Amino acid sequence: MSFIKFGYMRVSTMDQHLNRQEQQLREVGCERIFFEKVTGTKRDRPELERLLEFLRSGDTVIVTDLTRLSRSTKDLLEIAELIANKGANLKSLKESWLDTTSAHGKMLFTLFAGMAQFERDLIAERTKEGIIAARQRGKNPGRPPVDPEKIKYALYLVDQGSTITEAAEKAGISRMTLYRRVKDEQEVIPE
């Protein structure tokens, strides 16, 4: 069974060109290249999804650099995990440390992933500590409570036939706040 080298390339705007990326991917032997013109901040990247569907164990996904593949460290780790779960490899031409086809590359990527997880855990820990400290100082962190009169008005509008969206807009509250209150009201009503 032969393994396939898949290339993935992306540019953020229609004005940008993929020529340089395509040339580099062809030079390293990519047999099939997926490309799209979409901003990296969007998670919806249909060509990346198609590439992931085609992957088989032993195949390799190659990118010219990590900014073409992922929006953030978290996004990179999620995509890398999807690739690894297929038994495939990931390689970046610019970031030579990312090459899971080698033991060295796998080790470095594992360290990188561990450090990213460590950072996320530290941020969560500091956030919890900050909330506790704020409460001890008599502060109530988070969003301020919604004016009960606005909620009453929105519920009245819903009772009069307005949609949740219309009622929320007219009352000046978020749709989710109104959805939660409507749900709470329905749970209180005996059946």
Q: Which residues are catalytic?
A: 12
Strand (E) or helix (H) holding 7:
strand 5-11
Are 149 and 138 in contact by the 8 Å Cβ rule? The answer is no
Residue 21: both structure tokens together:
């990326």
Tell the residue number behind the tokens 């593949």, with chain if given: 69
Are 32 and 56 in contact by the 8 Å Cβ rule? The answer is no
User: What's the CA gap between 152 and 62, in Å, rounded?
Assistant: 56
Are 98 and 70 in contact by the 8 Å Cβ rule? The answer is no
One DSSP character per residue, 102-153 reads: SHHHHHHHHHHHHHHHHHHHHHHHHHHHHHHHHHHTT---SPPPPPHHHHHH
User: What's the CA gap between 157 and 152, in Å, rounded?
Assistant: 9
